[in-house]
């Protein structure tokens, strides 16, 4: 019996090593495929004008200069940057403040009218009235040309709400009940027990919200009139496309500047990401407590 087990273990560890090698190779391959185009963007953004003229696909750097970045930095970029940070920062905060309690409430099976609420909410997943009715609504609320018009309508995403709700449903109800015994109400139970246990998913959803606020373009153009309140995405895209005007006005914008615009547009999110990322995996383990 012992011998058989031992043999099994050996065979398994052999297969296991093979799998590990395969795994490393496969993931490396995926990473390489993901990185190549990004690498090209990076190399191009750091190249001199003459090396990118006429559209070439650079993978090996031919020159190294921050000229393109400086150009974008000095183009009124900072104004849009602060607007974007305002919208994304406040927006994410408001969104989380609405999403988390709402998701928690919906995750409680005892909630009165839960089925009806869920049906009402699910319906918004499939029906989208389009931008016009939203424009009229924003206008009625007096929010045209106000940065809050980019925050409030997007302060909740049915998508993220359902993700949060489903995650919280996987937390056994006994945890909440045990909090009651300690004299907590539902709100305290959420803050003291459920939120700490949901850190990985909350970190993920925070990031989703931030990125969605950060990258929003169409609505920013539609709801904002004064260009000093434009967000970064609007200004960056304008910088790329302006030279495409039918009359050939303005300077030709070479690929290096375009790519620098792309990199700068996502840089803030990239900087935040590592801080958020550590929470994806290091959340409190549910297994620590028995049901």
Contacts to other proteins from residues 86-105, by CB under 8 A: 86, 89-90, 92-93, 96-99, 101-102, 104-105
CB of 193 or CB of 276, closer to other proteins: 276
Mark residue 95 as left, alpha or beta (left: phi above 0; alpha: psi -120 to 50; beta: remaining).
alpha
Among 47, 106, 168, 264, binds other proteins (CB under 8 A): 106
Using CB under 8 A as the binding rule, whether residue 66 contacts other proteins is answered as no
Three-class secondary structure of residue 219 per DSSP: helix
Using CB under 8 A as the binding rule, whether residue 174 contacts other proteins is answered as no
Site string for other proteins, 264-283 (x = CB under 8 A): -xx--xx-xxxxxxxxxxxx
Contact 238, 120 (CB under 8 A): no
Question: How many residues line the site for other proteins (CB under 8 A)?
Answer: 159
Using CB under 8 A as the binding rule, whether residue 192 contacts other proteins is answered as no
Using CB under 8 A as the binding rule, whether residue 120 contacts other proteins is answered as yes
Least distance to other proteins from the beta carbon of 61, Å?
Answer: 15
Among 168, 204, 260, 264, binds other proteins (CB under 8 A): 204
Q: Which of 275, 284, 134 is nearest to 198 (CA)?
A: 284
DSSP 171: S
Least distance to other proteins from the beta carbon of 115, Å?
Answer: 10
Using CB under 8 A as the binding rule, whether residue 152 contacts other proteins is answered as yes
Q: Around Cβ 67, how many Cβ atoms within 10 Å?
A: 16
Least distance to other proteins from the beta carbon of 63, Å?
Answer: 14
Q: Alpha helices, DSSP H only, in the chain? A: 2-45, 49-52, 67-72, 78-107, 114-126, 131-140, 158-169, 173-181, 186-189, 195-197, 199-215, 218-223, 232-241, 255-281
Site for other proteins in 33-52 (CB under 8 A): 33-38, 40-41, 49-50
What's phi and psi for 191, nearest 5 deg? -70, -45
What's phi and psi for 102, nearest 5 deg? -65, -45
């Amino acid at each position: 019996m012992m011998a058989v087990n031992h043999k099994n273990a050996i065979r398994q560890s052999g297969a296991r090593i093979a799998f590990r090698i395969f795994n490393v190779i496969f993931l490396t391959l995926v990473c390489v495929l993901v990185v190549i185009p990004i690498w090209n963007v990076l190399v191009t953004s750091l190249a001199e004008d003459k090396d990118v003229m006429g559209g070439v696909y650079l993978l090996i750097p031919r020159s190294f200069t921050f000229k393109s970045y400086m150009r974008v930095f000095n183009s009124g970029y900072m104004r849009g940057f602060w607007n974007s940070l305002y919208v994304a920062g406040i927006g994410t905060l408001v969104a989380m403040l609405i999403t988390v309690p709402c998701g928690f409430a919906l995750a409680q099976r005892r909630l009165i009218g839960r089925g009806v609420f869920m049906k009402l909410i699910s319906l918004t997943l499939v029906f989208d009235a389009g931008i016009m009715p939203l424009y009229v609504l924003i206008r009625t609320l007096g929010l045209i040309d106000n940065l809050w018009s980019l925050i409030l309508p997007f302060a909740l995403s049915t998508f993220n709400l359902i993700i949060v709700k489903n995650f919280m449903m996987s937390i056994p109800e006994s945890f909440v009940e045990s909090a009651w015994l300690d004299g907590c109400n539902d709100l305290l139970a959420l803050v003291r027990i459920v939120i700490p246990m949901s850190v990985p998913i909350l970190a993920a959803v925070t990031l989703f919200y931030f990125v969605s606020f950060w990258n929003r373009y169409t609505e920013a153009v539609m709801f904002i009139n004064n260009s000093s309140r434009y967000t970064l995405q609007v200004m960056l895209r304008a910088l790329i496309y302006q030279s495409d005007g039918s009359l050939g006005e303005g300077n030709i914008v070479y690929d290096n500047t375009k790519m620098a615009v792309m990199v700068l547009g996502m840089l803030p999110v990239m900087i935040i990401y590592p801080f958020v990322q550590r929470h994806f995996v290091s959340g409190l383990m549910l297994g620590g407590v028995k049901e």
